[in-house]
Amino acid sequence: MSDEDTDLGPAPSESSWSLVGGFEGGCDGGGAYFFDDGEKSILTEFGWNIQSDLPDPASFDEVGSSTSAIGLPPPDRRVREDASIPNLPSVSSSSVEDPAADSVGKHLQTPGKERKGAQKRIRQARFAFRTKSEVDQLEDGYRWRKYGQKAVKNSPFPRSYYRCTNNKCTVKKRVERSSEDPSTVITTYEGQHCHHTSSAFPRAGGIPLSPHVPATTQFLPQLHRGAPHEVHPPTLLNNNDEDHEAPVATDEGLLGDILVSPHKRS
DNA sequence: CGCATTTGACCGGCGC
DNA sequence: GCGCCGGTCAAATGCG
């Protein structure tokens, strides 16, 4: 835990991006955020799925539609498994009540290894988005530990699985490149952080988190486009200067909209 | 030495 | 019921 509030980079700037808009939608399906840089704005769509309070299936369907609309890879074979729009019920079947269950969600394992008994995997709220970036792992202010990597169907790129290093935190995230657009990284967060960012990096890219902002939003990656006045190390994850945030896609099929734009502080 | 990453194996869920 | 695939674990390995 000492790594909690310790390192990781330059002090956050208070600025790279600011939330000028508001969150819309609430926890029932999606939302939108507006960030203004003063010179450019980016619309980021995102979505998440909450086990409870799920809106009518119809709503999902609707949202799901938008998914393809924004250019999600065409469903191929089992894609829908993850895009689980039709599977929402099952996905949300379990409750989120027991965060700890997360790690428990593990399935049983080899006799030799000890795995808890039939614990049903618990899916927590998810939040996915696309980001144009050359690097796979976007800096979002939290420390992540990779715990797996898998080759996925329909994509020549492997999918990486990360878990928040905070013991108490059960948040996980998956990172994979879009098979259609290799320059696009699809990041999916699952769960909610129960702690503050573990690094000195700008919270969610300088996005001022507010009590009104759903936790999911905190997952917004640091949109480091280097704030105008910010001197970020060249190791920034998002090297692309142009479109950092591309339309978002969520493997959950639930999307909302986030209008993001870099906020230039002068 | 400690921590993060890599990698192979395993399990459960879902579709056919 | 079977097979495929996603997701996770844990030992091994690498790196700082």
Q: What is the pLDDT of residues A226-259, one digit of tens each?
A: 333 333 222 233 333 333 333 343 433 333 333 3
Q: What does the pLDDT read at residue A178?
A: 83
Q: What pLDDT is recorded for position A160?
A: 92
What is the tally of helices (H) and strands (E) in chain A? 4, 7
A153: Cβ under 7 Å from strand B?
no
CATH of domain A124-197: 2.20.25.80
The pLDDT of residue A90 is 33
> Binning pLDDT at 50, 70 and 90, where does residue A121 land?
low
Q: What pLDDT, on the 0 to 100 scale, is given for residue A149?
A: 92
Give per-residue pLDDT as tens, A37-89. Answer: 333 333 344 544 433 333 333 333 333 333 322 333 333 333 333 333 333 33
Summary mean pLDDT of chain A: 49
Edge-to-edge strand ranges of the sheet holding A144-151: A126-132, A184-190, A172-177, A158-164, A144-151
Cα A127 versus chain centre, distance: 5
- Percent of chain A scoring above 90 in pLDDT: 4
Nucleotides of strand C under 7 angstroms from a protein beta carbon: 4-11
Kindly state the helix (H) or strand (E) to which residue A42 belongs, with its residue range.
strand A42-44
Q: CA at A159, C1' at B6: how many angstroms apart? A: 13
Token pair 């080759």 is found at A151
pLDDT for A162 equals 92
pTM exceeds 0.75 for this model: no
Residue (of A85, A17, A78, A86) closest to A47 by Cα position: A85
For residues A20-41, average pLDDT: 36
Strand B interface, A 177-236, C-beta < 7 A = none
- Where is pLDDT greater, at A16 or A175? A175
Q: Domain locations in chain A?
A: 124-197
Cβ contacts, strand C, under 7 angstroms: A 77-78, 81-82, 103, 105-107, 109, 113-115, 121, 147-154, 159, 161, 163, 172, 174, 251
pLDDT digits (tens, 9 = 90+) for A141-167: 788 899 999 988 888 888 999 998 877
Dihedral over Cα of A186, A187, A190, A192: its sign: negative
Q: Sign (positive/negative) of CA torsion A103, A145, A244, A197?
A: positive
In the predicted model, what is the mean pLDDT of residues A91-118? Answer: 37
Q: Of A27-31, A66-70, A184-188, where does mean pLDDT reach its minimum?
A: A66-70
Q: Report how far Cα A260 is from the mean position of its chain's Cα atoms.
A: 15
Asked whether residue A219 carries a pLDDT value surpassing 70, the answer given is no
